[in-house]
Amino acid sequence: MATTYDRTLRAARTPAVFALLVLVTGVITSMALYSRQGFFGLTGGFVVGDSPNFHSIPIEDLAYTEGTRPSVLVSANDLSYVDFTPDTGQYIWQALTTAPSFIVAAGAFFLVWRLLWRARKEVFIPQVARQVRLLGWWLLAGGLLAPQAEAFAMMRLMDSLTVDPGVYLLKEIPPVVPLVGLGLLALAAVLRKAVRMRDDLKGLV
């Protein structure tokens, strides 16, 4: 009787199912990326640089203050610079403020599919352990480096929008992706040990 695991593996290696997953993932990712000044920031006709510094700018416009209590001060913390006559270099830097995360996500999706394809017949084989290790390293490295690459691109974009040179600040790293990568690396080590133990048992039989 086929288990859920067997049915999942059969579905994963079906070209039509994989093509559908690629399409759905591509649509969702494109929608997320298009929400920032067009696709990768290339189709909006302008570029937007976000200041990495914390600001406290008082706002006195009645549209924002009329609904507050008497003792409340309305202020803006984020400061953005918009250039409606960008050059090619600015477009490139703006694209690089989102592209690294997209590359990490797309690469992870491809590696997951490769992993399922390798494990379609047997799990405890060296190839599966290698695929798990590769996926773990990809998520660990991508989760650590992608936010910093995007922060560096934003700094260079800000350099083109302001007179004063920008200062590179390390961006806060969301812990989920690197932790998943570490977990997969640990799982890969367990799988390699399981493969060796199985081979040793086969040698004793």
Can you give the three-state secondary structure of 52-93, one letter per residue?
A: CCCCCEECCCHHHHCCCCCCCCCEECCCEEEECCCCHHHHHH
- What pTM value is reported for the model? 0.73
Give, for all 205 residues of the chain, the pLDDT tens digit. 556 656 665 665 566 666 676 677 666 666 655 555 556 666 667 888 887 776 667 777 776 777 777 778 777 777 888 889 889 899 999 989 888 988 898 888 888 888 877 777 777 788 888 999 999 999 999 999 999 999 999 999 988 888 876 667 778 888 898 999 999 999 999 888 888 887 777 665 5
Quote the DSSP letter at residue 40. Answer: G
The two tokens of residue 120 are: 């379609």
pLDDT at position 43:
67
pLDDT at position 141:
95
Distance (Å) of CA 105 to CA 3, 126, 146, 189: 29, 25, 10, 23
pLDDT at position 15:
63
